[in-house]
């Protein structure tokens, strides 16, 4: 029997870092977006309730597929099993922006 793959997707949204688990991640037909399907949330088996996971459940309630801009994605990991989804405050010290080459002033463009 083929096992179902589980992915942990971490992305930025409105100054916060979201970490969600899903079963399908793919390149979207919409240019510049990543498609995420079958979002997984933890079962309520304990009395302790995580407010950030509850917020995510209500935010993604009824959503079968979501599209996230590629530049907002921090990382996508294939994991053995899902964990609690969460929202944390975005801090710039953990993510380094991709370096962009800028020619020095007065340099001629490459042809």
55 assigned to some structural domain:
yes
2 assigned to some structural domain:
no
Report DSSP letters for 50-89, one per residue: -HHHHHHHHHTTT-SEEEEEGGGEEEEEEESS----EEEE
27 assigned to some structural domain:
yes
Q: What pLDDT, on the 0 to 100 scale, is given for residue 6? A: 92
Q: Which residue has the higher pLDDT, 28 or 51?
A: 28
56 assigned to some structural domain:
yes
54 assigned to some structural domain:
yes
Residue 104: how many CB atoms within 10 A of its CB? 5
84 assigned to some structural domain:
yes
21 assigned to some structural domain:
yes
110 assigned to some structural domain:
no
Total domain count for the chain?
Answer: 1
Query: Over the stretch 67-80, which tens digit does the pLDDT of each residue have?
Result: 999 999 999 999 98
Query: Over the stretch 50-105, which tens digit does the pLDDT of each residue have?
Result: 676 778 888 888 888 999 999 999 999 999 888 888 888 876 555 566 666 777 78
Whole domain around residue 32: which residue ranges?
Answer: 7-89
């Amino acid at each position: 029997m083929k096992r179902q793959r589980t992915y942990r997707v971490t992305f930025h949204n409105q100054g916060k870092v979201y970490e969600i688990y899903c079963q399908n991640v793919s390149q979207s037909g919409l240019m510049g977006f990543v498609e995420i399907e079958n979002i997984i949330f933890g079962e309520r088996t304990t009395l302790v309730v995580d407010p950030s996971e509850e917020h995510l459940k209500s935010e993604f309630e009824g959503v079968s597929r979501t599209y996230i801009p590629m530049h907002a994605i921090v990382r996508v990991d294939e994991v053995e099993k899902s964990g609690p989804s969460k929202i944390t405050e975005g801090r710039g010290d953990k993510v380094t922006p991709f370096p962009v080459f800028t020619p020095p002033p007065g340099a001629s463009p490459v042809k």
